[in-house]
Structure 1
Amino acid sequence: MRYLVALLFICNSSLFFAQDKSSVNDSVKKMPTVTKEQKFKTFSKDKIKEEEKIGIKDYKIISYARDTTYLDTTISIEKEYKYNFLRKDDFELMPFSNIGQPYNSLGVTMKPNTLYPSIGAKAKHFNYMEVQDINYYRVPTPMTELMFKTTLEQGQLLDALLTFNMSPRLNISLAYKGFRSLGKYQFEEAESGNFRSTATYETKSGRYRLRAHIAAQDILAEENGGLSNKEVQFESGVDRFKDRSRLDVNFTNANNKVLGKRYFFDHQYDVFKKVGDTSKTKSNYLTLGHEFNYETKYYQFSQGTQDAFFGDAFVSEITDKANLKTMYNQGYVELGNRTLGILKGNVALYNYNYFFDSRLITATGEEIANQLKGEQITVGANYEKTIGGFNLNGGIDYGVSGELTGSIINAAASYQLKSGVKATFAINSSSKMPNFNYLLYQSDYVNYNWQNNQAFDKERVNGLLLGLDSKLLGSLSAAYNSIDNYTYFTSIASQEQVDAGQENAAVRPFQEGNSVGYLKVKYSKEFKLGNFALNNTLMYQQVDQTNNVLNVPQLVTRNTLYFSKDVFDRAMHLQTGVTFKYFTAYNMDAYNPLLGEFYIQNREELGGYPMLDFFINAKVKQTRIFLKAEHFNSSFSGFNFYSAPNYPYRDFVIRFGLVWNFFS
């Protein structure tokens, strides 16, 4: 019901905020021939040449890093890969059975995007939108985007966006992504809501600029602990158990939840700048800026009654809740010079408060703290310069005070040849504390209480990246990372506990004392012949380690053979094909629903099975329609397809949906 209300709100809002109500009914048909002056009719003070036409490139999307793209209403194989719950390519991820559940990792990204620890519960954050995931907009007319897709049993997925310019210099956007899916197995219902609202403003002179957003997000899921008798009920392929609701699960009384609220703004003022000059690389300027981010978040696990699956408990009804409040203030100065390049310096103050609403004293009288609180002062600098075909950029952030003191250093150089070939070289080095749930955790379960903030060292990662991008040869990247003090969760359960189904009763955090070397080579290339194309992505990984603390498949491949053509007198573009995905068997990480984390296990190899999807996609005007038969080989290639130990991947299912853009 709430999705219907949201849809009605978006549709009505697009009419209410139309900048030229007289052209609402025929705006889409006539959009290529309508002048900007007509569309910004109420802004007559802003002189716009009448001969300028509105095109799709006028609907601009600006990222957190201030990279600007435009609305893309085409259909392509890349759009097929991104048409999923996360709305991004999930090549290196392995989804669970139900929509909105965790994703196991088939590949690892070692380069950190922040200097500070997060709350943890990483398996529950795939759908959580961080500051870097929020886009801003500039549009000549109100623009709406609706993304719809069916889920699994009693639910739908809808991602709706409305953005409009109240004046050429003020943009507002409202967006909500909501979904619910019951799932095929017992007690695995999942649902979430992601509300975002953004605003951007620029003065008429262009000297002052402001962007801000508010985000409110909640991610909820029922947790069943996986199958309790997978060999007999799942792997045997017995007909009566093909109704997945008949399969026994470990428990049916647990839930976990992530809830977060964020308030962000970033504003800049140009102390001096040539009026009308919008190119950073060709102008001289001095800019002062300030970025503010305040966020509250909690992760909660609750269970109606204590279960031996997690071991002994202090109380019969379980309610674990970890809280994190952070406030970030950064002041920066950016200097641009035609000859010297762009130099940016910053000073930041980070306040954090990670806490539990309880006090724990162990049987030996030792007290485990319920709070990690403090502030961190960091300084940083970034540099960028283009010299001919070379582009150089680098940055450093360094903590000068505080218990979380760490550092991140990045440097990259790329060269663009006239032939279209682009070569990239990058290095990175980081030192940062593990996430807060490694350092401190409290639970109503006895074995899930620890404090390691004094015992654990900073994780140190040194990496090297080489890349080559060519239209003729394809895209190749090779990355090598050396990791010290690698931090991970694993179970120290005895074989007797494992046999009794109590492996999760002994999951704890550890740090590896030996260095871990990780190599990842990724290659992608598409071959075309007439209306047919073969799109290929191949990833090779190798880990050099003393103990098995970082487990990844050696080989992951995805190959799509598809046909595309304009049909019905070019009124529709049709795309249809088959996607094959495969990864070699390996010790796949296990999932712990109490922590919302994956943990290392070395007793069971999973993988080595093919996944085949058949799809038919079509584009009609600004509407893209998607139909897919997912994992259609599940019934005849063997019931050994798992996303994690005891958690099967989904069976054959047909799902459909669309992405629809319309303009007022």
Structure 2
Amino acid sequence: MRVTKSQVLWVLMVFSGLHVFAQTGNFRTRNTSGQQSGITTDAQGRPIRRNTGNDSLKTRNSLADSITIFYRYYDSTRPRTIDSSINDFYTRFPLPYRYHSLGNYGTAAQSLVFEPFMKAGFDAGFHAYDIYRFTPENTRLYQTTRPYTELAYLLGSKAEQLINFLHTQNKKDNFNFSIEYRFSNGPGALKNQNASHNNFRFTTNYRSLNRKYGVNLIYYSNKAASSENGGLQDVKLLDSLRLNDPFELETRLGRPGVARRNPFNTTVTTGNTYKETTVLLRQYYDFGKKDSIITDSTAYKIFYPRFRLEHTLRFTASSYQFSDQIADSLRYLQYFNRTIPDSGFVAYWDRWTDITNQFSVLTFPDKNNQSQFIKAGIALQNLSGKFDSTFKKNHYNIYALGEYRNRTRNQVWDIEARGELYLNGLNAGDYEAFVSMKRLLGKKAGYLNIGFQNVNRSPSYIFNPLSRFPIDNRANFNKENSIRLFASYENPRNGWMISGSYYAMSNYMYFDSFFHAKQEATLFNVVHIRAEKKFRLSRYWNWYTEVDVQQTTGQPPVNLPLLLTRNRIAFEGNFFTNLFLSTGLELRYHTAYKADAYSPFLGRYFYQNTQTIRNRPDINLFLHFRIKSFKGFVRVENLNSLNTSKGFEFSKPNFVSGLYPNTTLWTRVGIWWNFVN
């Protein structure tokens, strides 16, 4: 990731300014005599008494050797704790098991479960690498009593690498900052398949001494650089490899002939490069009620927010580019039916700048519950698009928003209702409505959650004639409308969960070839049911099963596997005091289906109805362990690629799409290590 001097200087200036600002006070209120009190706050922001230890015989502070740390996601009030479990590798691996890529980590990814894009308003239309991105929704805002650092390093076959760094600390009780960086590089098993991602995030969380003013700052940048090979020229040659290495096969894009696999190469000669930089600043001022707590002869001041003024500023600069510096006109015509310039250089490029100002007011009906509030606001969004290097176009949006949340103090109800309506501008008429209600039925009975979501959205801007990406049939497409009904029942005591979603889709946008877009005007439905269960087989043996069943009605342009399941049989337990172990066998399987093909020029999977993918179950062996703060993961994956017709040779890969084989035998070794300073 290339970071300019001005970006580094800007971050340091913001951090330095907030650091100085934070020196003026902390979360502790002051008593009537002006001395610091023994009042702090709990995870909900409510005041609690601090153990000051004023007795003549003071006890040792337990925080000297331990840490109290929790976090909440941006735009959430629910406190969460750090996950130290080791039984599921995918809680730490960015690509979930329900996703598949083009055969190499970091390449364009798609979910095997139906997950339509349901977001109103402006969208540039590029989502091939969303699963690898840092976003506001997955940003954590921490509070910690001690500086906390986490280091992670994963090494896979073919020099695949994943590096992750996290550091967070409180300079004062009322000021926290965190820095997070993630780098991944995968040269791939095929030619022209290297993929590299750089993600950086910086956050601060400050609240004034009198607890009336607060500010959250989030800065993050994402860069995805992925070479595109267009798939193999002839997949049948996989059965006649001389060295059992698919790297020797020719691909449809990229440099033909001899190529080298370089684990340090992050340059994209033929492929996609997506960049995004975002600054998100939210500040608020509270009006409320002052109160005090009397303990012995001391009075402690408390503040209860009842009314809040809030301003959110979001600045995003993004660019999306496909380029082929060594384009072969004959192969473009043969494999993609596309005529390109004689210069042998192909490039498509869109850039966007998005500045959004949102002004809101909030009320808190219950002074003792900050998780219950009513919010209303209005926002102005200014958009500036630049296409190639010459043409520019400006747009704007004005939208209203409202929200109600109530997570009751007794933890019985958790209600969320929100909506957005675009009043004027580029996306006028777009809207989103969401309602979710969760109820605790009892400690033994578990939780029931039901909800509804409806989104009416304009087609993404990539379908606009101004976009430089090659879509042959741009037209005045209608707004997409999506309805989702969902429900889930969870019983943590017995270790199981079942959920279901019902989708009703109209004016559904999709592609049916490399450069051709379509819209399905006929309403169609998708039903998705999911179940999870942990079976305790014996004292140390556990069986974890996850099952997804999905079905469409009619003949929609959507192909999905009827069944997707993952099963883990693990030997688990706590041994030798500090050793936590989870080792066993993992299987993932989906039924045969007509998997989507892929357009490297648009970064889009597209609908096809001619070729069916029938794969063996994916079989992985794993050894996960934790010793105090050290976590280790050793995995041998894709044992299913064993080809018995050639002896003991792993040369029979599964396919993720018709032209893209998955990797064969693959090993991964990773460590996750956290430190308390």
Same fold (TM over 0.5): yes
TM-score by length of 1: 0.83
Q: Partner residue of 1:192? A: 197
The yes-or-no answer on 1:245 pairing with 2:269 is no
Aligned to 1:544: 553
Question: In structure 2, what residue type is equivalent to 1:251?
Answer: L
Deviation at 1:239, TM superposition (A): 4.8
- Contact 1:486–1:511, Cα closer than 8 Å, also in 2: yes
Q: CA deviation at 1:189?
A: 1.0
Separation (CA, whole Å) in 1 of partners of 2:66 and 2:516: 52
Q: 1:276 to 1:168 in 2, by over 3 A?
A: farther
Q: Would you say the 8 A contact 1:332–1:345 is kept in 2?
A: yes
Question: Is the 1:284–1:338 contact (alpha carbons within 8 Å) kept by the matching residues of 2?
Answer: no
Partner SS for 1:437:
helix
Match for residue 257 of structure 1? 273
Residue 348 of structure 2: aligned partner? 320
2:628 corresponds to which letter in structure 1? K
The alignment partner of 2:640 has SS state of: coil
1:406-432 deviations in whole A, cap 9, x for unaligned? 000111222211224211110111101
Return the alpha-carbon distance in structure 1 between the equivalents of residues 227 and 459 of structure 2.
Answer: 27
**2:594–2:613 contact (8 Å) kept in structure 1:** yes
Task: Give CA deviations for 1:62-118 in whole Å, capped at 9, x if unaligned.
Answer: 21123444543522324x2323244xxx13212332221122320122472x42232
- Structure 2: 5+ residue stretches without partners: 3-18, 20-26, 29-34, 39-49, 54-58, 256-269, 294-302, 645-650
2:665 matched residue in structure 1 = 652
Contact 2:254 2:327 in 1 (8 A): no
Structure 1 residues 73 and 413, CA, compared in 2 at 3 Å: closer, same or farther?
Answer: closer
Specify which of 293, 303, 306 is matched with residue 285 of structure 1.
Answer: 306
Corresponding residue of 2:384: 353
- Would you say 1:416 and 2:425 are equivalent positions? no
| Residues 189/518 of structure 1: CA separation in 2 closer, same or farther (3 Å cut) | same
1:613 aligns with 2:581: no
Q: Secondary structure at the match of 1:122?
A: coil
SS of the residue corresponding to residue 131 of structure 1 reads coil
CA offsets per residue over residues 139-194 of structure 1, 9 Å max, x none? 21211111110134235211101112121211121221112221221111111211
The offset of 1:642, in angstroms, is 0.9
Distance across 2 between alignment mates of 1:604 and 1:358: 39
SS in 2 for 1:523: strand
For 1:432-459, what per-residue CA distance to the aligned partner results, in whole angstroms no more than 9, with x for missing partners? 1122112346558xx545643xx11111
TM-superposition CA deviations, 1:271-310 (whole Å, max 9, x none): 1145589xxxx96611111111100101111112434144
Aligned length, in residue pairs: 584
Partners in 2 of 1:442 and 1:410 — Cα distance?
31
CA deviation string 1:456-508 (max 9, x = no partner): 111101121121111337211111010110001112xxxxxxxxxxxx3xx22
Equivalent residue, structure 2, for 1:603: 610
- Partner of 2:561 in structure 1? 553
2:284, 2:310 within 8 Å by CA — same for their partners in 1? yes
1:64 aligns with 2:74: yes
Native 8 Å contact 1:170 1:202 kept in 2: yes
Structure 1, 260-269 or 334-343: larger mean CA deviation:
334-343
For structure 1, list consecutive stretches of 5 or more residues without a partner in the other structure: 3-18, 20-35, 38-43, 360-369, 492-503
Shift of the 460–543 alpha-carbon distance from structure 1 to 2, 3 Å rule, reads same
Q: Secondary structure at the match of 2:247?
A: helix
Q: Distance in 1 between matches of 2:143 and 2:581?
A: 30
Distance in structure 1 (CA, Å) of the matches to 2:450 and 2:102: 35
> CA separation in 2, counterparts of 1:73 and 1:432?
36
Where 1:153 maps in the other structure, the secondary structure is helix
Determine if contact 2:67/2:146 at 8 Å carries over to the other structure. Answer: no
Q: Is the 8 A contact 2:254 2:326 kept in 1?
A: no
* Aligned position for 2:365: 337
Deviation at 1:386, TM superposition (A): 5.5
Q: Distance in 2 between matches of 1:166 and 1:523?
A: 44
Letter in 2 for 1:342: F
**Paired amino acid for 2:162:** L
Query: Counterpart of 1:91 in 2: which secondary structure?
Result: coil
**Structure 1 residue 352: deviation in Å?**
1.6
Query: What secondary structure is seen at the aligned counterpart in 2 of 1:187?
Result: coil
Residues 306 and 607 (structure 1 numbering): CA distance in 2 closer, same or farther, change over 3 Å? Answer: same
1:147 equivalent to 2:152? Answer yes
* 2:504 matches 1:482: yes
Task: Indicate how the Cα distance of structure 1 residues 448 and 430 shifts in structure 2: closer, same or farther if over 3 A, else same.
Answer: closer
SS at match of 2:642: coil
Of 544, 552, 556, 1:535 maps to: 544
Distance 1:385 1:566, change over 3 A: closer
Contact 2:94 2:131 survives alignment (8 Å): no
Q: Alpha-carbon deviations, 1:323-368, whole Å to 9, x = none?
A: 1111111111111113995211111111122331267xxxxxxxxx
Say whether 1:462 aligns with 2:483.
yes
* Conserved 8 A contact 1:102-1:126: no
Distance in 2 between residues matched to 1:578 and 1:274, nearest whole Å? 58
% of aligned pairs identical? 21
Q: Tell me if structure 1 keeps the 8 A contact 2:271–2:323.
A: yes
Match of 2:141 in 1: 136
**TM-score normalised by the chain length of structure 2:** 0.81
Partner Cα distance (1:401, 1:165) in 2: 42
After superposition, the Cα gap between the structure-2 partners of 1:458 and 1:56, relative to the gap in structure 1 and judged at 3 Å, is: farther
